[in-house]
Amino acid sequence: MTTPAHVAIIMDGNGRWAKARGLPRLAGHRAGVEALRQSVKTASKLGIAWLTVYAFSSENWSRPQSEVSDLLGLLKLFIRRDLAELHRSGVRVRVIGEREDLQPDIRGLLDEAESLTVGNRALNLVIAFNYGGRDEIVRAMRKIGADVEAGRIAPASITPETISDALDTSGIPDPDLVIRTSGEMRLSNFLLWQAAYSELIFLPCFWPDFTPEQFEDALRQFSVRERRFGGRIERDVVSSSA
């Protein structure tokens, strides 16, 4: 079975999971953090090198203030409680998304998570927080624009690599597989540039119900997908001995 090197997950459906149980949305988000902990363990066990999780989008600020502060609180709690354990397990944490405008305490925690785990090699956990694909591309274009203006690069020398290198995900391989839970079939501004040739799997379950078995099953589905990247599969070509 071909294991994807990089799996990216849109952890969606916490609110509906809670609603179906007559619970407040916060209970769904808490259960979502538990599913995240499980998934990090499963990813390590299955030998996945990179796991990216969509934790909070640049558009999620438009939710009611109380839910936004619940989500920020859970992120802080997750890092405070789980960082030591992640570090012990050899997990390297990286954070993508806009960081400048975040509250200083959150920025501090994100910086700490990255610097503490920088030497770890077991699993790379990429947390997309205050992340939006379009926002990321805009920030990358500003950097490139400044380089052009300063005469450091010529517009004609800009390549896809120039853009990849200017994104938050610089140095991270593109995701091979993107999984979204909750039955929604859209990217919601996740890894727009990077997911150009990713395989997509949409699962009906809500994120808190995502189990290690479902994770493994998604990898099985991935392993039988035929990725062509716009090219041709050689076995279709009849070889000629002439």
Q: Which two tokens stand for residue 42?
A: 């499963």
12 is catalytic: yes
Q: How far is the CB of 191 from ligand IPE (least distance, A)?
A: 11
Query: What letter would DSSP give residue 127?
Result: E
184 forms part of the interface with ligand IPE (CB under 6 A): yes
Quote the strand ranges of the chain, DSSP E.
6-10, 50-57, 91-96, 123-131, 177-180, 199-202
The angle at the Cα of 13, spanning 8 to 14, to the nearest 5 degrees, equals 105
Task: Considering the complex, state which of residue 26 and residue 46 has its C-beta at the smaller distance from ligand IPE.
Answer: 26
In angstroms, the CA 150 to CA 70 distance is 43
Task: Considering the complex, state which of residue 178 and residue 219 has its C-beta at the smaller distance from ligand IPE.
Answer: 178
In angstroms, the CA 16 to CA 25 distance is 8
14 is catalytic: no
Of 71, 167, 191, 203, which one interacts with ligand IPE (CB under 6 A)? 71
Report the half-sphere exposure of 195 (CA within 13 A, side-chain side).
21
**How many residues of this chain interact with ligand IPE, rule: CB under 6 A?**
18
Return the range that interacts with ligand IPE (CB under 6 A); candidates 49-57, 75-83, 98-106, 164-172. Answer: 49-57
State the binding partner of 71 from ligand IPE, Mg ion, none, CB within 5 to 8 A by kind.
ligand IPE
168 forms part of the interface with ligand IPE (CB under 6 A): no
Of residues 125-154, those binding ligand IPE (CB under 6 A): none
Q: How far is the CB of 119 from ligand IPE (least distance, A)?
A: 28
Q: Which two tokens stand for residue 214?
A: 């479902």
Output phi, psi for 53, to 5 deg. Answer: -125, 135
Catalytic residue among 12, 82, 168, 176: 12
Give CA separation, 212 vs 7, 17, 36, 45, 134, in Å: 14, 18, 11, 10, 31
Output phi, psi for 234, to 5 deg. Answer: -60, -30
Of 14, 42, 58, 124, which one interacts with ligand IPE (CB under 6 A)? 14
106 forms part of the interface with ligand IPE (CB under 6 A): no
Of 42, 130, 182, 194, which one interacts with ligand IPE (CB under 6 A)? 182
State the binding partner of 11 from ligand IPE, Mg ion, none, CB within 5 to 8 A by kind.
ligand IPE
Output phi, psi for 228, to 5 deg. Answer: -115, -20
Task: Considering the complex, state which of residue 144 and residue 172 has its C-beta at the smaller distance from ligand IPE.
Answer: 172
55 forms part of the interface with ligand IPE (CB under 6 A): yes
Residues 6+ apart with CB under 8 A from 163: 137, 140, 144, 193
Residues that bind ligand IPE (CB under 6 A): 10-16, 54-57, 60, 71, 182, 184, 186, 188, 207
